[in-house]
Chain A
Amino acid sequence: MKIAVTSAGTDLDSQIDPRFGRAANIIIVDSETFEFEVLDNKENINALKGAGISAASMISRKGAEVLLTGFCGPNAFKTLKAVKIGVANDVSGTIRDAVKAYMEGKFALADAPNTEGQW
């Protein structure tokens, strides 16, 4: 399974970036092999509006089934729900530990956004 994790750095030992839409990077991790691909999120960081919506469509195109992040706003959540990507919010620590913890069933998937939209 492919898991998308928002990351401050570019490897599995980086800390999770708590922001979704404007995260520094988004890492797509294969939960079995721990092979990963780093997606540079620069374009969304500088987006005028709708960073969460774009980030959600980007990880959808990469085939992610789950997103691990800190905060997910209402527009990003609506987009992720439409493409059936589950979201675990309030996740922190390293990318590697977060993916392991998710696979061990330690995170519940959210049924609502956990932050307000930004203007």
Chain B
Amino acid sequence: MIISVASGKGGTGKTTIATNLAVSVGKDVQILDCDVEEPNAHLFLNPSIIETEKVMAPIPEVDETKCTYCGKCADICRFRAIIVLGETILTFAEMCHSCGGCMKVCPEGAISETGRELGIVERGNRNGVGFVHGRLRVGEAMSPPLIRKVRSFTNPELLTIIDAPPGTSCPVITSMKNSDFVLLVTEPTPFGLNDLMLAVEAVRILKMPHGLVINRSDIGDGQVKEYAAKKNIPVLMEIPFSRKIAEAYSRGQLIVDAMPEWRDKFLGLYHRIKELAN
């Protein structure tokens, strides 16, 4: 089973939920941190990293001794990653989306494949909890190919928990696609509600079962709950705005380590998700 933890708004507690859920389940579980622009699950899990792999995106390289400057490569590229100006051909590595179109249409076979580094994927584990995350190269703008690489380590024999990036754009969709359940984490503020509504719309287009965790549930107002009731979204867990939890977080500690009584609550959450996903 794949459970994605997503949110719309950033800073609502996705990583807190994903890491505590994974450690509470404890075995036959893996966590994939797909927030490759700023992965942080490792800060709470302290996994030992066993393998590091560089991830490349294929980009074109032109052999100018073969190029006739016909411009067919430039015509097919909607991202302007390759252009022909008179007898000059230029490539823009960082614009390229790696579709391979330019290589296919070149009548001279002058374009070959080289690579641009997207980032790295690191794999390891913590006390039997499998761990995978990606780190996007600083300066790189395209995260979905690296996220797909992280997701390629999904082991169908395990419970897979995906820590998704915030928002509702391509990186989020790439992270949570084909999940059996999406756990949406929000906070009861107008800002939290606004972004939750966007996230719910995205999840409903993808037709994935979903439920809500309300973090810092005793602040703000009642609008998130009203919205959840109206839209028939089950509220699966509420976490109060507690100094003890905040202190543990600030030390990089899991809630279930600092306050072991929370382990049963997270296990309860997991069982509710299992019921709802089927």
Overall SS of chain A's interface: helix
Q: Check if A53 sits within 8 Å of B80, measured CB to CB.
A: yes
Task: State the Cβ distance, A103 to closest chain B Cβ, in Å.
Answer: 26
Of the listed residues B78, B80, B81, B88, the one surrounded by the most CB atoms of chain A closer than 10 A to its CB is: B80
22 A–B contact pairs at CB < 8 A?
A47-B80, A48-B78, A48-B79, A49-B78, A50-B80, A53-B92, A53-B95, A54-B80, A54-B83, A57-B85, A60-B85, A60-B86, A75-B80, A75-B92, A78-B90, A78-B92, A79-B90, A82-B85, A83-B86, A83-B88, A117-B94, A119-B141
Note all chain B residues with C-beta closer than 8 A to A79. 83, 85, 90
Tally A residues with Cβ within 8 Å of B. Answer: 16
For the complex, what is the distance from the CA of A31 to the CA of B103, rounded to whole Å? 42
B residues contacting A by CB (< 8 A) are 78-81, 83, 85-86, 88, 90, 92, 94-95, 141
Interface string of A62-88 (1 = CB under 8 A from B): 000000000000010011001100000
| A50 in contact with B95 given A60-B85, A82-B85 (CB within 8 Å) | yes
Q: Check if A75 sits within 8 Å of B86, measured CB to CB.
A: no
Note all chain A residues with C-beta closer than 8 A to B78. 48-49
Note all chain A residues with C-beta closer than 8 A to B81. 50
Which residues between 7 and 23 of chain A lie within 8 Å of chain B, taking CB atoms?
none
For the complex, what is the distance from the CA of A61 to the CA of B83, rounded to whole Å? 13
Note all chain B residues with C-beta closer than 8 A to A82. 85, 88, 90
Note all chain B residues with C-beta closer than 8 A to A61. 85
Question: Quick one: closest A residue to B77, CB to CB?
Answer: A50
A residues contacting B by CB (< 8 A) are 47-50, 53-54, 57, 60-61, 75, 78-79, 82-83, 117, 119
Note all chain B residues with C-beta closer than 8 A to A50. 79-81, 92, 95
Note all chain B residues with C-beta closer than 8 A to A78. 90, 92
Question: Quick one: closest B residue to A83, CB to CB?
Answer: B85
Task: State the Cβ distance, B20 to closest chain A Cβ, in Å.
Answer: 34
Task: State the Cβ distance, A93 to closest chain B Cβ, in Å.
Answer: 29
Interface contacts beyond A48-B78, A50-B80: sample of 19 additional A-B pairs, CB < 8 Å, sorted by A? A48-B79, A49-B79, A49-B95, A50-B81, A50-B92, A50-B95, A53-B92, A54-B80, A54-B83, A57-B85, A60-B86, A61-B85, A75-B80, A79-B85, A79-B90, A82-B85, A82-B90, A83-B86, A119-B141
For the complex, what is the distance from the CA of A61 to the CA of B79, rounded to whole Å? 20
Task: State the Cβ distance, B137 to closest chain A Cβ, in Å.
Answer: 14
Question: Quick one: closest A residue to B74, CB to CB?
Answer: A57
For the complex, what is the distance from the CA of A61 to the CA of B71, rounded to whole Å? 14
For the complex, what is the distance from the CA of A50 to the CA of B94, rounded to whole Å? 11
Question: Quick one: closest A residue to B88, CB to CB?
Answer: A82
Task: State the Cβ distance, A41 to closest chain B Cβ, in Å.
Answer: 15
Q: Check if A57 sits within 8 Å of B141, measured CB to CB.
A: no
Closest 9 pairs (CB-CB, A-B): A50-B80, A53-B80, A119-B141, A49-B79, A83-B85, A82-B88, A60-B85, A57-B85, A82-B90
Question: Quick one: closest B residue to A60, CB to CB?
Answer: B85
For the complex, what is the distance from the CA of A75 to the CA of B79, rounded to whole Å? 12
Q: Check if B95 sits within 8 Å of A57, measured CB to CB.
A: no
| The residue from A60, A75, A83 contacting B95, defined by CB atoms under 8 A apart | A75
Note all chain B residues with C-beta closer than 8 A to A47. 80
For the complex, what is the distance from the CA of A106 to the CA of B15, rounded to whole Å? 56
Note all chain A residues with C-beta closer than 8 A to B83. 53-54, 57, 79
Note all chain A residues with C-beta closer than 8 A to B92. 50, 53, 75, 78
